[in-house]
Structure 1
Amino acid sequence: MQNKGVMVLGAAVGAAIMYGIVTFFGPGGGQMQNVELRPDDLKLVALGKKVYDANCASCHGARFEGEANWRERGEDGLLPAPPHDESGHTWHHPDAVLFALTKYGPAVMAGDGYKSAMPGFEGVLSDEEILASLSYIKSRWPDEIRQRHDQINQSAAQQQ
């Protein structure tokens, strides 16, 4: 039963984050709708590795493994950092969503009092550094996952 509760909670948080994305990037939204990760851009990926190592690896892991029990809230009520490898849910989100979550933070994107240990990196990292770190993450996914992520991006673009 607890797994079902976690799944319902995850769906509710996902819906809240998607609402936040629509609010930020909906009609009349900013230029970030056109965010596109570039995992084959070696210079950008090299910058992304440096940014990731300095700002993300302490929580999400040097090998993208995330924190233990990342689907279950800790005693502090917060979800641990999820993995960014193929076992996590990062690749389930289109580029613009990943960018917004990184720039503004999950709490801002979900709104409605949602709490998250992950800060937004606006004012800490430039847009290029955020794009670079996400491109680095995607560059490490297996080909099959990268292709599935590309399909998610295509679906998101068609819905705009």
Structure 2
Amino acid sequence: MSTKSPISPTVRVQSEDFDPGLEGQRLTAGRKDVGALVSFTGLCRDESGRLSALELEHYPGMAEAELTRIAEEACRRWPLTGLTVIHRFGKITPGNNIVLVIAASSHRRASFEAADFLMDYLKTRAPFWKKEHLASGQDDGWVKAKNADDEAMKRWT
């Protein structure tokens, strides 16, 4: 593993929605060295009709810095030709985008592994706090971390 990445990842923390297709096009525009593009889009689900919205809060500056650190780690671990990470904050209703990871590389394995690594780290280390708003009109409080997410991340250490 080298210490300096040959690419600089794109990292954004924003309240606005994003277009995964457009972001993929931006990552590959004019590039002839991309043989694989793997993307993951995380959506807000309604939890079987129980949830009306998920509210995500973060510390501006800290969240961007940590996402950038994680993205740069992925760029050092795998031979990527491009990487985009977008995470939204604010109140997000079911069916809408929350997070996007797109990893580009010359060969598929690097893109798959980098995207998987990023999602495991984002689920466990990204400084976002989630509050559930129930369809009944009540707040269900802050979402607790899941042991399964911590277990999944262990494979990268």
TM-score w.r.t. the length of structure 2 is: 0.26
Q: TM-score, normalised on structure 1?
A: 0.26
Higher helix fraction: Structure 1 or Structure 2?
1
Considering fraction of residues, name the structure with more strand: 2
Q: Which structure is larger by alpha-carbon Rg, 1 or 2? A: 2
